[in-house]
Amino acid sequence: MAQVYNLTINDQQVKAEEGTTILDAARSIGIDIPTLCSHPLLKPLGACRLCIVEIKDGNRSLVGTSCTFLVAEGLEVKTDTPEIHEARKVLIELLLARAPKAKIIQRLAKEYGVENTRLKTEDTGELCILCGLCARICDEVVGASAINFINRGVNREIAFNPEVSSESCVGCGVCTTICPTQCLEIEKPYGVISAIEMGRKAAISIDSYLGGNGIIDEELAELKKPEPFIGKVPDFSNRLRTIESCSLDAATKENALFEAKRCMQCDLRLQISCIKSPPEHYLEFNAENVGKVPEISGVFQLLDNDKKVTMIKGAMNIKEALDEAIEGNNDAAWFEWEADEMFTKRESELIQQYMQKYGEMPGGGMDELDDLF
């Protein structure tokens, strides 16, 4: 059983269990302490500093953030002394300079008598106060870590992690709900299927956070395995569909289920393997592959690591010519060959095709140009 401590807050006797913060102990007896960065689901951070209080612990007196300071036996806490009130006014001025249009900051300013800020306002439209609630709940509760602090000092800001957010963000919208200044917005789900998907992802994350196994196994609709080929459907492009069922405002249970069952057949693409790319005719330029080339007349091409042609050559015996090339050419990585009794003519054709395409001889040389004509 947790130990219970006795303390006073604003001269009121309070009993609180070990591990309780002063902020929670004060709230338990109806004492309000302003805060913008605290949430019961999250670890204490003390970012906004608005919850500062005076604390007397024996002979020691200090000012600390009530959301991070744990209760102890005999603590004496004052939450709104003249000194604390003035300190909060300064903090509100700082917040007002950063986010002048944030309604909650405006309300606090009015409550504490702050008419304007003496500090320079960099962005009059800024709403973010760097409380970190969105990043913390995305990491600690949802488990996606799609939002985080970036940069340091005066350049510090909240941003979506470009490396992971596109894949890890579950679209649950919790970050928009927890934001005290409403600076985050999420687009309204574009349809029933999107809403179902977002809700399922959020449910899995929350279930895991609460100690579950993260397995949400209920089926929304009975699915049949789609046919890989369903055949041609006459006049399919002109067929009407229940557009209104994809609107969350207009959806009814019947047409939403109808649309869901139909849309879920889109997993047909998961049943079909990807198309195969055309096979490459290039072979690695090594003795083993050259040894498989027959001793016939024809033309071969040598290519570098980027598969750019460096040589086009015809020969009476292309195997012998390739053997010579493999000994004296260290730049070639790939090759291809074709049989052709008229190898001189074929060589000229391939070189001219290359020149028309790239404007230069294979390998970049122009010395052999005159020999072609």
Residues in the chain: 373
Alpha-carbon distance 188 to 73, whole Å? 49
Q: Would you state the structure tokens that stand for residue 316, as one six-digit string?
A: 């009476």
Domains belonging to the chain, first-starting first, are: 4-80 (3.10.20.740), 132-212 (no CATH), 219-275 (no CATH), 283-372 (3.40.1440.10)
Looking at residue 233, its pLDDT comes to: 43
Residues 6+ apart with CB under 8 A from 157: 128, 130, 149, 150, 151
Asked whether the predicted pLDDT for residue 9 surpasses 50, the reply is: yes
Q: What angle do CA 22, 23, 24 make, to 5 degrees?
A: 90
Per-residue model confidence (pLDDT) at position 82: 93
pLDDT tens for residues 327-336? 876 688 999 9
Average pLDDT, the chain: 78
The model carries a pTM of 0.51
In whole angstroms, what is the distance from residue 177 CA to residue 171 CA?
12
**Does the pLDDT of residue 265 top 70, yes or no?**
no
Report pLDDT digits (tens) over 282-323: 888 999 999 999 999 999 999 988 888 899 999 999 999 999
